[in-house]
Amino acid sequence: MAPTSTPQTPFGRVLTAMVTPFTADGALDLDGAQRLATHLVDAGNDGLVINGTTGESPTTGDAEKADLVRAVLEAVGDRAHVIAGVGTNDTHHSVELARTAERTGAHGLLVVTPYYNKPPQEGLYRHFTTVADATGLPVMLYDIPGRSGVPIGTETLVRLAEHPRIVANKDAKGDLGRASWAIARTGLAWYSGDDMLNLPLLSVGAVGFVSVVGHVVTPELRTLVEAYVSGDVQKATEIHQKLLPVYTGMFRTQGVMTTKAALTLQGLPAGPLRSPMVECSPEEITQLKIDLAAGGVQL
């Protein structure tokens, strides 16, 4: 069983979108994935998102995705929510991935906006509801127009929120005004998908984060959200400001690249990246060390 959830926080408050460790020859490193997952949950994560963008899902096969979810569940499934990324730009394929994730034992699904083919809002609505209909698992939408090319419109979010299994949204739209309206009108549990906006989104009604920087600063994120929820906005703001160099540094280039570099610097499982992703250059790693040190991260 996954940890207890509430309608307000169906997946907890602090989740990390976990990288997928590979071996030196590029194969899936399931032992490394289990060690990394355990480390992240020990650090304070309520949940882990597996097979998301940061998990290099575009370059892992369906069988690898299932194996990865299974391995992480074996490592931490009784202590954390394990959310499987199943979104693609093919509704039928997404349904297959969702059903496999359910059979594997995942606690929930992350479904990204279909990318590249740029469907209209009605297409988005049908896609998300078809995937949600395919299993009995709770669904977190993932709204990231910078990658998908299409935002989930507020009216579409309102319609989607009527589905009994669509319970949350990961917001990487970068628009606090739209987020404010959507939170107010949908009642969905709102999770920041943009680390720089973690605190601002809490201020308009978000309940937590699906973070990339959680790989290196989960305890700080946990303290930030707990301070905010308890009413200590000043403390939350101080932590937010302390983490600004980390937020900036981890996204100077593609986040999975810097995350794997940071994990390697800390001696944690990461491994190489699959093409077309590439490793950080020596200059990028030097800058990353400066940024992380400025945010108090020990390397």
Q: How far apart are CA 168 and CA 275, in angstroms?
A: 31
| Catalytic position from the list 65, 115, 125, 142 | 142
Q: What is the DSSP string of 9-71?
A: SBTBSEEEE----B-TTS-B-HHHHHHHHHHHHHHT-SEEEESSTTTTGGGS-HHHHHHHHHH
Residue 173 near residue 144 (C-beta atoms within 8 A): yes
Q: Which two tokens stand for residue 66?
A: 């299932």
| Catalytic position from the list 65, 170, 173, 260 | 170
Q: Give the Cα-Cα-Cα angle 295, 298, 299 (nearest 5 degrees).
A: 120
Active site residue 170: yes
Give the bridge partners for 139, in sequence order: 109, 166
Residue 16 near residue 262 (C-beta atoms within 8 A): no
Terminal Cα-to-Cα distance of the chain (whole angstroms): 34
Q: How far apart are CA 3 and CA 5, in angstroms?
A: 6
Q: How far apart are CA 142 and CA 9, in angstroms?
A: 16
Active site residue 142: yes
Which residues are catalytic, by number?
142, 170
